Structure 1
Amino acid sequence: MTRRTTLQSMIALAGGAVAAKGISSSAFAQENLTGSGEVRVYKAGGVWGDAQQATFFDAFEKATGIKVVGIPYIDDGAIRASVLAGEPAYDVAGMDGALVDSYVEQNLLEQIDYSYFRPGDREDFSPIPATPYLVPSLFYSMIIAFDSRAFPDKAPQTWTDMWNVEQFPGKRAIADAGNNVVGSAVFEIALLADGVDPKSIYPIDFDRAFKSLDKLKPSILRYWTAGAEPPQLLTDSQVSVTSAWNGRITALKAKNVPVDLSWNQAVLQWEGWSVLKGAKNKENAMKFLAFVAQPEPQAKFSEMIEYGPPNHKAFSFLNPDRTARLPGNPDSFKTQLVQDYSFWGAKGADGKRNAEKALDLWREWVTR
């Protein structure tokens, strides 16, 4: 079976699961969001991007007549520079929840026009709300992933286990905080590995976090920068344990690749959509956001990849077994550490945000 036919099968299954509830995800769009031209939208890589294409991009284009041009990842600095130059890299950008305040402060975002939205959809975003500048797009988790061939009897279940290279031998990989200081969740993970109670993670004790990282550093083979790296490192047996985003690992498990994960102490994260200042296709961008805010396409997306929907009504279109495996389901807020974006966006006495401080400290540490 080819990648294309596999994707088509996944789309059919996702659509069928939601359609069984008697839902037409395109009806509102056909009546209220039709238009012409295009909209340039951030498109992720791998299975995530496939799910976006099938359930958001293609469905929106079919319902409205507006072409979606998927634009791959561009780093934060380049996005800001593109807006300042008057040539925004996207109309609709994928926005890390920890960055949105600084974008607003620098006047780099358009206010979202919620008049395009179906009544009630904005209010159904819970517990992370849709704000004047950001519509949450998904929940995901930074989890402990491991090569199941390396641990046939007892596998690592906590970040402390990942740090314990004597009991769980092999090389390690963690995300490069220099590439994504907040999204990497490196500092939260290091403190959890050092035994800090999840309720006491914030404010981050950077001295303690780096002392914890010092203990793991001799065993770190790779500081990964792309979500595709951890599963590849595990598959190739280059590392035995790594941090990873849950969707990448569960996608491999579904193909019977010998990898596994632990949800214990997972760091629950979320991302959103924002419209960049000066977007060339601003009206189409608002229409796109109105479409993806609906629970029906969000449910279809979460059928294709194990990332959770931020519109809580989407869970009503998913079966209980699927819901239980999704980050952002009601129980996940009780069992996982919810990353505190307000901490990372807060400024210290020196005027620097905590994320900026952490980035400076990381760059000094990683080159030692």
Structure 2
Amino acid sequence: MTNRRTLLKATAFAALPGGLALPGIARAQAQVREIRMVEAGGLSGDSIEAGYIRPFTARTNIRVVRENPNPLGKLRAMVESRSITAVLFELGSLSTAIAQAAGLIEPLDWAAINPDPMFDEAKLPHAFGYQYYSTLMAWRSDAKPLSNWAEFWDVRAFPGKRTLPDNVTLALPMALLADGVAPAQLYPLDLNRAFRKLNQIKGSVSVWWSAGAQPPQLLKDNEVQYAASYSGRVAGQAGISLTYAQGLLDLAYFVVPKGANPAEKAAAMGLLHEMSVARNQATAAEVIPYTGASPTLEQLLPQARLNEFPTTRANKDAQVLGNPAWWAQNRDAAERRWQEFKLGL
């Protein structure tokens, strides 16, 4: 049980990261002994615990309770019922754009967060980008190496079975990159062109995966020789090679549900600060090879394993960031086309 006297003392002098003391925030945090967050679970959730929650609780004596899973529908239900049970909610980039457009989330108090330096796309008015991940090309190490999606599509020069995601937001950009579209010209997506390209490879795709654990297992079992996979699932895995070239780089965000308790929100801003600290991000990356938004993180990562992490300079520059705003406006039409495409598999 948190000692109230200790909590009051801690929040009075360490209400904000970096030694800043704003009395209003300190008073708000002093009222809070516990906050709840909804996150994705698994190793990602364990990395949040190790890298961010532990230093936050040590500094403030505020307990953080993790809950999962984290569908957008749960956030919507919270806000519409005016029963906000968690002050921080993890969302993918597309869900974040949808939630903001629907008025489900509040602006963050960036002055209270007082973040260390962050990449621009991670620092949004309504969302804190805390973890980068990639969907990239991986292959059995005894297969011919790949360097771009055009080669992934070239089943004659690179023979073998493939696995691709049963996910329209991933499959369409991959297809267009394979068809020669420059990364800077991807959006707005040309749906007709993308589906024509998907039709060219569908006969060599033995599994359209829906769970991130599938691609590495399919590769290890030699059921496929080439895979599109989440980077954290294949990085550092024996017998599997990968490249970040033309990888699809994405970002998971934390948001505050509209109507959250002000005192809990004030406390949560301190936890978000911990997520901006490079040394904390390095600790989180020891649990799972995804990375935070600090431009200085690379120097703190294991130098012999830099190719495993999505935001080292070499890997980040080689990838393509998505366009969540486009997807928020066009996802329904694209999904209808996707379901029609799957009927022909």
TM-score normalised by the shorter chain: which range applies? 0.7 to 0.9
Which SS does the other structure have where 2:260 is aligned?
coil
Per-residue CA deviation, residues 332-356 of structure 1 (Å, 9 max, x unaligned), is 44322222334334xxxxxxx1223
For 1:192, what is the secondary structure of its paired residue?
helix
Q: Does 1:327 align with 2:310?
A: yes
Q: Which residue of 2 aligns with 1:286?
A: 269
Question: 1:196 is matched by which residue type in structure 2?
Answer: V
TM-score under structure 2 normalisation? Answer: 0.81
For 2:100, the aligned partner's letter is V
Given the alignment, which residue of 119, 122, 133 partners 1:126? 119
2:321 matches 1:338: yes
| C-alpha distance 172-316 of structure 1, shift in aligned 2 (>3 A) | closer
* DSSP 3-state at the match of 2:124: coil
Q: Runs (4+) of structure 1 moved beyond 6 Å?
A: 29-34
Matches within 5 A, 1:1-368: 28=17, 36-88=32-84, 90-118=86-114, 121=115, 124-149=117-142, 151=143, 154-177=144-167, 181-182=168-169, 185-251=170-236, 253=237, 257-279=238-260, 281-318=264-301, 325-345=308-328, 353-368=329-344
Deviations 1:295-352 (A, max 9, x none): 331232234433232132434544655556532333444322222334334xxxxxxx
Partner of 1:14: none
Q: Equivalents in 1 of 2:16, 2:269: separation in Å?
A: 17
Which stretch of structure 1 is more off in the superposition, 231-240 or 34-43? 34-43
> How large is the RMSD of aligned CA atoms in angstroms?
2.9
1:193 CA drift (Å) = 1.6
Would you say the 8 A contact 2:35–2:87 is kept in 1? yes
SS of the residue 1:98 aligns to = helix
Kept after mapping to 2: 8 A contact 1:47/1:248: no
Deviation at 1:276, TM superposition (A): 1.5
Where structure 2 has 5 or more consecutive residues not aligned to the other structure, the ranges are 1-14
For the residue of structure 2 that corresponds to 1:99, the secondary structure is helix
**Identical columns (%):** 28
Measured against aligned partners, the alpha-carbon deviations of 1:159-197 in whole angstroms (never above 9, x if no partner) come to 2222233343433222222xxx43xx2111011122223
Cα offset, 1:261, TM superposition: 0.9
TM-score (norm 1): 0.76
Any idea what SS the aligned residue of 1:226 has? coil
Give unmatched runs, 5+ long, in structure 1: 1-25, 346-352
- Counterpart-to-counterpart distance in 2, 1:64 and 1:328: 30
**Bigger CA radius of gyration:** 2
Residues 182-219 of structure 1 deviation map (CA, whole Å, 9 limit, x = unaligned): 3xx21110111222232322221100101111122223
Cα separation, partners in 2 of 1:162 and 1:288, compared to 1, 3 Å = same
